[in-house]
Amino acid sequence: MRTKQTVLMLCLLAAALPVAAFDLGNIDWKKAAETVQKVQKANADINEEQEIGLGEGVASNLLGAAPLLDNAEVQRYVNRIGRWLTLQTERPNLPWLFGVLDDDDVNAFATPGGNVFITKGLLARMHSEAELAGVLAHEISHVLRKHHLQAIKKGAQAGLLSDLANDVIKQQGADPRLSKLVSAGTEVYARGLDKNDEYEADRMGVVIAARGGYDPYGLPAMLQTLQALNPNDSSLALMFKTHPALGDRLERLDQLMSSAFARLEGQPDLAARFATELGARK
């Protein structure tokens, strides 16, 4: 079946070549075959349903690494903020889900399809709802721009992804190819994204938080707090390894925000609600 497709594509490719190239002896068949492979790979586009399925697999893995914090009030609070923020974006209808992981590491994660997790260790270092909103908005931006999905695609074995795109892999059940892709996907979180993806999520995050009516300086305030932590603390190790230097991130935000956000500086940070909601924990 695949061979048939390849032959067909080679024929189409040949037909597309300039007339002079119809002397078959002149065609570089190796190069043509490579081109076909590239085209096939590029066509292996994942639809939204598959993005969600893959993202749930990765989310399930992350929850295998660190459990959910056992506190429904805190989980619900974070979900309310997060869901409100997603309503200000271009993908409001994804099955957005937010969760606090019961782990002292300082970190946050987003998986394709709209699953966002932050650690208890990060939450404990925040001072206001605007800071929490800023961090969630950064993670939401990764989902909007499909940063992790692209990274997974880039790293995936050729074939695996086109199988998924062609719906060969069943979403449910223990298909070894899907679990392979999911575990490859989970490794992206150990490796980190491209620096530019992180900068982009920062500059989108402050905008999304501002659209939600929050003080837009929540995210930079959080980053500034992290900058003042002891960099040798092991709870920061993975976050530092997988993200650009905090000084660089803050400098870029400073340049972008200094004039554009002056009119939004009066927006609330809801520090009091943050204290009450998290203080309500028994």
The region of 7-15, 18-26, 160-168, 183-191 touching another protein under the rule CB under 8 A is 183-191
The region of 3-11, 41-49, 152-160, 217-225 touching another protein under the rule CB under 8 A is 217-225
What would the two tokens of residue 39 be? 């085209």
The DSSP bridge pattern shows strands 97-101 and 115-119 to be parallel
- Three-state secondary-structure class, residue 250: helix
Which residue's CB is nearer to another protein, number 11 or number 268?
268
Instruction: Determine if 13 is a binding residue for another protein (CB under 8 A).
Output: no
Please name the residues in contact with 150: beta carbons below 8 A apart, sequence gap of 6 or more: none
**Among 41, 83, 177, 180, interactor with another protein by CB under 8 A:** 83
Which residue's CB is nearer to another protein, number 164 or number 270?
270
Instruction: Determine if 44 is a binding residue for another protein (CB under 8 A).
Output: no
Which residue's CB is nearer to another protein, number 25 or number 64?
64
Instruction: Determine if 155 is a binding residue for another protein (CB under 8 A).
Output: no
How many residues touch another protein (CB under 8 A)?
A: 111
Instruction: Determine if 35 is a binding residue for another protein (CB under 8 A).
Output: no
Query: CA 252, CA 254: separation in Å to the nearest integer?
Result: 5
Instruction: Determine if 154 is a binding residue for another protein (CB under 8 A).
Output: no
Which residue's CB is nearer to another protein, number 160 or number 270?
270
Give DSSP secondary structure letters for 83-137. HHHHTTSS-TTS--EEEEES-SS--EEEETTTEEEEEHHHHTT--SHHHHHHHHH
**Residues 237-266 interacting with another protein (rule: CB under 8 A):** 237-238, 241, 247, 250-251, 253-254, 256-258, 260-262, 264-266
Query: CA 176, CA 64: separation in Å to the nearest integer?
Result: 18
**Among 41, 177, 180, 273, interactor with another protein by CB under 8 A:** 273
Whole-number minimum distance, CB 153 to another protein, in Å? 19
Whole-number minimum distance, CB 181 to another protein, in Å? 13
Residue 147 host element (H or E): helix 147-155
Residue in 37, 36, 40 with CA at minimum distance from that of residue 12: 36
Instruction: Determine if 49 is a binding residue for another protein (CB under 8 A).
Output: no
- Three-state secondary-structure class, residue 150: helix
Instruction: Determine if 170 is a binding residue for another protein (CB under 8 A).
Output: no
Please name the residues in contact with 15: beta carbons below 8 A apart, sequence gap of 6 or more: none
Sign of CA dihedral 29, 31, 36, 41: positive
**Residues 104-143 interacting with another protein (rule: CB under 8 A):** 104-105, 107, 115, 119-121, 123-127, 129
